[in-house]
Amino acid sequence: MKKFTLAVVGLVAALALAGCGNDKSEQAAAKGAMQAQQTFEWKLVTSWPKNYPGLGTAPERFAKNVEAMSNGRLKVKVYGAGELVPGFEVFDTVSSGTAEMGHSAAYYWKGKIPAAQFFTAIPFGMNAQEVNGWLHHGGGMELWQELYAPYNLIPAAGGNTGVQMAGWFKKEINSVADLQGLKMRIPGLGGEVLSKLGGVPLSLTGGEIFTALQTGTIDATEWVGPYNDLAFGLNKAAEFYYYSGWHEPGANLEFLINKTAYEKLPKDLQAIVTAATRVANQDMLDEYTARNNSALEQLKSKHNVKLRAFPPEVMQALRQANQEVLTELAENDQQVAKVWQSYQAFLEQVKVYHAISELEYYKNR
């Protein structure tokens, strides 16, 4: 009798546990079904004019891809600079959660995070291909995430313009002396290098550049390259167009994601957001590679732009000043030193291989 009673008790307990297991499974399934039906609407603010070629269309394409891949469960509305907030307020707007995402350039936040500049471009540094390698497979992304974590932000590479042009100048640059007192729109580390040589760097949003150059508020400006420069009509405000883009050899743009908003998404939507940023990152580089060629030809043949290269002595002075700027920054900021060490180590390795692969191929094709 005792054995029979114990057996019955065991059977009842097993059935009860089985029932609990089924309840949990059903609850998990119900929760999954509920998440699958839940919809989200996000705002994405940018530092560019609405639908501006390349820079402005990248977040628009991102939004369309996210909506399509999520079957409408996540919709992202994109706002151009000034539509919801000014272009230079993207970081704070996303950090606070007023908007769930942003699209901008990390060097705009150098006053808040000096090391952020390294995630847009370093003068005489890596090109787009190399930057993507460092970010996604060389430890760069982990450092970027570490920098933005205190601000409730998750960064993601948001496109690259490739090697830029050195900019538009109202007068020719024949010597280092011609940089003295030159008022130039050039943000980030490039601006600090110019300052070392006696220039006066200013940081302006894209929409402010043409008027500033036309009215003489600035004497020169860098922007991006032929594709975007033609769209802004910068050739109407300055006649000398210089290369190469020593200051931004691979200008990496960024997506900013509010961490709280991201963590509220189901796992599949999180994966979609991440995947869509990677698509946008590559797509922008493809677009600039395709469009810069014809735009440069138009600038030369239709608008008689005077294409110039900086004299070797000017380029050498810029290179030397850049080393001084980087050394000083690393000595005075631990975050900068940490990022610069990682960046420099990757650059030294990739330079060795690219010297016998990319560079050698360019020479021989």
Determine the longest span between alpha carbons in the chain, in angstroms. 108
Query: How far is 212 from 221, CA to CA, in rounded Å?
Result: 9
Cα torsion 321, 322, 323, 325 to 10°: value is: 90
Contacts 24+ apart (CB under 8 A), 294-297: 295/225, 295/226, 295/227, 295/229, 295/230, 296/225, 296/226
Give the pairing of strands 167-169 and 220-221: antiparallel
Q: pLDDT > 70: what percent of the chain?
A: 90
Band of the pLDDT at 5, cuts 50, 70, 90? very low
Tell me if 121 sits within 8 A of 249, measured CB to CB. Answer: yes
Q: Model confidence over 227-256: pLDDT tens digits? A: 999 999 999 999 999 998 999 999 999 999
Position 37 scores a pLDDT of 79
pLDDT by residue (tens digit) across 109-155? 999 999 999 999 999 999 999 999 999 999 999 999 999 999 999 99
Mean pLDDT of 43-55: 97
Q: Comparing 32 with 234, which gets the higher pLDDT? A: 234
Q: Evaluate whether 74 touches 66 at the Cβ level (below 8 Å).
A: yes
Q: Please enumerate, as own/partner, the contacts of 56-63 that have beta carbons within 8 Å and a separation of 24 or more.
A: 56/80, 57/287, 58/103, 58/158, 58/159, 58/253, 58/280, 58/283, 58/284, 59/103, 59/158, 59/255, 59/280, 61/280, 61/283, 62/103, 62/158, 62/255, 62/276, 62/277, 62/279, 62/280
Q: Exposure string (b/e) for 134-168, b if CB count within 10 Å is 16 or more?
A: bbeebebbebbeebbeebbbbbbbbbbbbbbbbbb
List, for residues 164-205, the tens digit of each pLDDT value: 999 999 999 999 999 999 999 999 999 999 999 999 999 999
C-alpha to C-alpha distance for 95 and 33, rounded to whole angstroms: 30
* Residues 117 and 339 sit within 8 Å (Cβ to Cβ): no
Helix ranges restricted to H, the chain: 2-37, 57-69, 90-96, 128-137, 140-148, 188-196, 206-215, 226-232, 259-264, 267-301, 312-332, 334-356, 358-364
Q: How far apart are CA 181 and CA 189, in angstroms?
A: 18
Mean pLDDT (whole number) for 297-316: 96
pTM of the model: 0.88
Mean pLDDT of 60-82: 98
Compute the distance between CA of residue 116 and CA of residue 149 in angstroms, rounded to an integer: 12
CB neighbourhood size of 207 (10 A): 17
